Amino acid sequence: MTSSSDRSGASANSISKPVIEFRGVEYRLADGSQLLANFHLAIESGETMVLLGRSGAGKTTALKLINRLLEPTAGQVFVEGRGTLEWDPIALRRHIGYVIQETGLFPHYTVEENIGVTPRLEGWDRARIRHRAEELLALVGLDPRAYLERYPHELSGGQRQRVGLARALAADPPVLLMDEPFGALDPLTRVEVRQEFKQLQSRLQKTVVIVTHDIAEAVDLGTRIALLEAGEIRSVHAAGKFLQSDEPLAAAYVAQIRALQPEGEAS
């Protein structure tokens, strides 16, 4: 079903092995209902793959298959050439930063402690963790002096999301999964943080899979955009050509979203 018509536009690195690859993946619940079907997708090193689709399309499910929070019921997901089931799940997850939709900050930890979770698991010393936390807070636009010692319940929703992003970046993982990371931000801050992230990404060259509903964000951040519907990939587009695509589904999607988000055409 994958009409990966725009695969050529992937990027210069397309010769190298994909960092993440779905091969014929299917995911069913125990009751038999199918959340993902016939899922093929290859994500190259340093690329930012955007998963776009309506609520309930299966975007979060696809992300969780990558860091093995879920295991495919058929087919395989490969990370750096190895099937996720062959990885030690702990090693796999430490290798992949994960920003979850609901932030999932630890309520009993301060911001600094939240950011420091993975570094601590990796055995970093205190000073290094502190330094890293300050650096990352600054990166996501929060003043370290004001926020390091706060608890999550003392933050706004948007601030929590930014801390969640900082936490995922803490141990500098080569792969980053982001599930609507900027969902709770107001439009202005959203654009700011997006720009920051874009700069960051151009420096760090991580392999990123990001879920968003915002077309402007998708086009601005993504190298490619995968369009999901009802658990299947309908098409994959080079980000630069997405808005002009004549592929009917993409065109329809763009038209619909545009109608709802007139301000969506940023940058």
Partner 1 sequence: MSLARYFAQHGSEILQSTGEHLWLTVVTMLLAVGIGVPLGILVARRPWSSKPILGGANIAETIPSLALFGFLLPLPWLGARGDRIAVAALTLYALLPIIRNTAAGIKSIDPAVREAALGMGMTGRQILWRVEMPLAFPTILAGIRVATVWTIGIATIAAAVGAGGLGEYIFRGLAMVDNNVILAGAIPAAVLALLADLLLGLLERRVRPERRKSRRPRPTWSGTGTAVAAGVVLIALFASVGLAGCGGDRAGTVVVGSKNFPEQALLGEILAQEIENRAHLRVVRKFYLAGTFICQQALLAGRIDTYVEYTGTALTAILKDPIEQDPAAVFSKVRQQYQQRFNLSVLPPLGFNNTFAIVIRGEDARRLHLTTISEAAQYTPHWRAAFGYEFMGRPDGYAGFVSTYGLKFAGAPKILDLGLLYRALLDREVDLVAGNSTDGLLSARDLTVLQDDKRYFPPYQAVPIVRDETLARYPELRDAIAALAGKISDAEMQKMNYEVVAEHRDISQVAREFLRSNGLG
Q: Which residues of this chain interact with Mg ion, rule CB under 5 A? A: 60
Per CB under 6 A, 202 contacts ligand ATP? no
Instruction: Judge contact between 208 and 174, C-beta under 8 A.
Output: no
Window 92 to 121, contacts with ligand ATP (CB under 6 A)? 101
Minimum distance from residue 63 beta carbon to partner 1 (Å): 9
**How many C-beta neighbours within 10 Å does residue 106 have?**
12
- Pairing status of strand 48-53 against strand 207-211: parallel
Q: How far apart are CA 97 and CA 50, in angstroms?
A: 16
Least CB distance to ligand ATP at residue 101 (A): 6
CB of 144 or CB of 187, closer to partner 1: 144
Cα separation, 255 vs 257, in Å, equals 6
Query: 58 is in the binding site of which of partner 1, ligand ATP, Mg ion, none (Cβ under 5 to 8 A by kind)?
Result: ligand ATP
Q: What single string gives the DSSP state of each residue in 116-169? A: THHHHHTT--HHHHHHHHHHHHHHTT--HHHHTT--GGGS-HHHHHHHHHHHHH
Site for ligand ATP in 29-58 (CB under 6 A): 29, 35, 53, 55-58
String of contacts with ligand ATP for each residue 57-76, x by CB under 6 A:
xxxxx---------------
Which pair of tokens denotes residue 140?
A: 């996501």
Q: Pairing mode, if any, of strands 96-99 and 224-229?
A: unpaired
For partner 1, the binding residues in 71-130 under the rule CB under 8 A are: 89-96, 98, 100-108, 110, 117-118, 121
User: Which residue lies nearer to partner 1 by CB, 102 or 265?
Assistant: 102
User: Which positions lie near ligand ATP, rule CB under 6 A?
Assistant: 29, 35, 53, 55-61, 101
